[in-house]
Amino acid sequence: MSARILNGNAIRDQIYGELQSEIRALAAEGIRPGLAAVLVGENPASKLYLNSKIGACGKLDLASFLLTPPASIDTAELLALIAQLNTRDDVDGILVQMPLPLQIDAKKILDAVDPAKDVDGFHPVNVGKLVAGRPSLVACTPAGVMEILRRSDIPISGANAVVMGRSDIVGKPMALLLLHASATVTVCHSKTRDMKGISRRADIVVAAMGRAAMITEDFIRPGATVIDVGQNVVTDRAEAERIFANFPEKLASFATKGSVLVGDVHPDVMRTAGAFTPVPGGVGPLTIAMLMSNTVRAARQRRSSAGKASRAVPV
47 is catalytic: no
Percentage above 90 pLDDT, the chain: 90
pLDDT digits (tens, 9 = 90+) for 36-91: 999 998 888 888 889 999 999 999 999 999 999 999 999 999 999 999 999 999 99
The active-site residue out of 97, 114, 203, 264 is 97
Q: Please compute the mean of the pLDDT values over residues 172-190 and round it to a whole number.
A: 97
Catalytic residue chosen out of the listed positions 92, 114, 120, 228 = 120
Res. 2 pLDDT band, cuts 50 70 90 = confident
120 labelled catalytic: yes
| 196 in active site | no
- 238 touches 188 (CB < 8 A): no
* Longest CA pairwise span in the chain (Å): 72
The pLDDT assigned to 315 comes to 35
Q: Alpha-carbon distance 121 to 138, whole Å? A: 4
CATH 3.40.50.720 residue ranges in the chain?
A: 140-284
Q: Band the pLDDT of 306: cuts 50, 70, 90.
A: low
Residue 308 has a pLDDT of: 53
Q: What number of CA atoms fall less than 13 Å from residue 127's CA on the CB side?
A: 15
CATH 3.40.50.10860 in the chain, residue ranges:
32-116
Q: What is the 3-state secondary structure (H, E, C) of the chain?
A: CCCEECCHHHHHHHHHHHHHHHHHHHHHCCCCCEEEEECCCCCHHHHHHHHHHHHHHHHHCCEEEEECCCCCCCHHHHHHHHHHHHHCCCCCEEEECCCCCCCCCHHHHHHHCCHHHCCCCCCHHHHHHHHCCCCCCCCHHHHHHHHHHHHCCCCCCCCEEEEECCCCCCHHHHHHHHHHCCCEEEEECCCCCCHHHHHHCCCEEEECCCCCCCECHHHCCCCCEEEECCCEEECCHHHHHHHCCCCHHHHHHHHHHCCEEECCECHHHHHCCCEECCCCCCHHHHHHHHHHHHHHHHHHHHHHHHHHHHHCCCC
Tell me the pLDDT tens digit for each residue of 248-287: 999 999 999 999 999 999 999 999 999 999 999 999 999 9
Q: Which CATH architecture has domain 140-284?
A: 3-Layer(aba) Sandwich (3.40)
Structure confidence by residue, pLDDT tens digits, 150-161: 999 999 999 999
- Domain 32-116: assigned CATH number: 3.40.50.10860
Provide mean pLDDT across the span 240-247: 96
Total residues found in the chain within this entry: 315
pLDDT of residue 310: 39
Q: Which residues of 15-27 are buried (b: 16+ CB within 10 A; e: fewer)?
A: bbeebeebbeebe
